[in-house]
DNA sequence: GGGATTTTGCGAATGGTTCGCAAATGAGGT
DNA sequence: ACCTCATTTGCGAACCATTCGCAAAATCCC
């Protein structure tokens, strides 16, 4: 059942460490560049495979950006919350909100829409970039 | 200034008519298939170019779907609103809401986040699919 | 350390999207 | 209607991100 095995390897540790220190969505290519900058030689294929694995485990959030490039961030989508994304530096801050849930409820009543999920993204500038 | 010219051509009319009758996000390939089904021979390149044009004019909304494929819908992003997307048939209904705006305001106060935009998508089942 | 199994790297294949250029089409004047 | 000329189209090649197949290397467990 589930994954047959789960080896701890250098490439996986390196990739995890890149993700762990970047509070923003990164593309596979960006992660790969980060690895090279750290002197860690890892193939792009491995980056993709590791990201797939992390996604399957529910450890990362996947987000296709505006032009279709897929980006990844260490962030469990398990517990429902939203993101505030800085337009300048890309920094992501978590936003969780009961108010939003309330709003979703009211929508259910108005339209004949049986709601079972929603996704929100806020854009603007974070404290550091302002 | 702006676009130098703006010819009215069959391909453009056909593509617009496909978009006009589909209240859901379509990929370039889906639009192309729709054209063939109508007996309209238009190259995929032209589909892409026409979509780019419509986007530049602000007539369509562009949305990369979960796996990065880019999809398009006739819908002016000009006036701010959100979408309720049916998980079953993909039908999109507009949702506009002052309540949401209010919520956005409160967020601005709490986090040091200078908000200048947000995007929401609701998922569920529409009346027809329920 | 040895051996079975998983993971990696490489290069090739894939799929969506873009580009370059010659041929076709639309707009406007005659 | 016809001409002219700028714009648009179709085609095929090019491009880029992502996936795959397979042999070599790394990991785990005994």
Q: Which of A68, A112, A118 sits opposite B120 (nearest CB)?
A: A118
- Asked whether residue A47's C-beta has any atom of DNA/RNA strand D within 7 A, the reply is no
Write out pLDDT tens, residues A52-82.
Answer: 999 999 999 999 988 899 999 999 888 778 7
Closest residue (CA) to C1' of nucleotide C5 is A5
- Looking at per-residue pLDDT, the higher value among A126 and B20 belongs to B20
Which residues are registered as beta bridge partners of A84? A93, A122
Write out pLDDT tens, residues B75-122.
Answer: 988 877 878 777 778 888 787 767 666 766 776 666 656 666 667 776
**Is pLDDT of B1 > 60?**
no
Closest residue (CA) to C1' of nucleotide C25 is B9
How many Å apart are CA A78 and CA A60, to the nearest integer? Answer: 10
Q: How large is the average pLDDT for residues A28-41? A: 97
- Record: contact B104-A122, CB cut-off 8 A: yes
Predicted pLDDT of residue A66 = 84
**Is pLDDT of B25 > 90?**
yes
**Is pLDDT of A17 > 70?**
yes
Which residues are registered as beta bridge partners of A80? none
Work out the pLDDT band at B2, boundaries 50, 70, 90.
very low
- Record: contact B123-A117, CB cut-off 8 A: yes
Any CB–CB contact under 8 A between B109 and chain A?
Answer: no
Domains plus CATH for chain B? 10-74 (1.10.10.10), 82-129 (3.30.1490.190)
Taking the CA of residue A90 and the nearest CA in chain B, the distance in Å comes to: 13
Work out the pLDDT band at B7, boundaries 50, 70, 90.
very high
**Is pLDDT of A112 > 70?**
no
Predicted pLDDT of residue A2 = 42
Element (H, E) at A50: helix A44-57
| B108 phi, psi to nearest 5 deg | -55, -40
- Record: contact A115-B104, CB cut-off 8 A: no
Element (H, E) at B105: helix B98-110
**Is pLDDT of B52 > 90?**
yes
Any CB–CB contact under 8 A between B120 and chain A?
Answer: yes
- Looking at per-residue pLDDT, the higher value among B128 and A17 belongs to A17
Is A25 in a helix, a strand, or coil?
coil
Say which residues have a Cβ less than 8 Å from residue B51's Cβ, sequence separation at least 6. B15, B28, B31, B60, B62, B72
Nucleotides of D under 7 A from a protein CB: 6-12, 17-21, 26-28
Taking the CA of residue A13 and the nearest CA in chain B, the distance in Å comes to: 25
How many Å apart are CA A26 and CA A37, to the nearest integer? Answer: 15
Q: Which of residues 57-86 of B touch strand D (CB under 7 A)?
A: 68
Say which residues have a Cβ less than 8 Å from residue A84's Cβ, sequence separation at least 6. A92, A93, A94, A95, A122, A123, A124, A126, B107, B111, B113, B115
């Amino acid at each position: 059942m589930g994954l047959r095995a789960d080896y701890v390897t250098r490439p996986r540790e390196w990739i995890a460490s890149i993700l762990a220190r970047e509070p923003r969505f990164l593309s596979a290519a960006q992660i790969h560049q980060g690895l090279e900058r750290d002197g860690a030689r890892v193939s792009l294929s491995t980056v993709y495979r590791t990201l797939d694995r992390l996604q399957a485990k529910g450890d990362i959030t996947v987000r296709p950006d505006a032009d279709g490039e897929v980006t990844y961030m260490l962030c469990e989508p398990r517990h429902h919350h939203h993101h505030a994304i800085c337009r300048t530096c890309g920094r992501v801050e978590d936003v969780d909100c009961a108010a939003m849930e309330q709003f979703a409820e009211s929508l259910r009543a108005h339209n004949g829409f049986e709601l079972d999920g929603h996704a929100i993204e806020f854009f603007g500038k974070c404290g550091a970039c302002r």
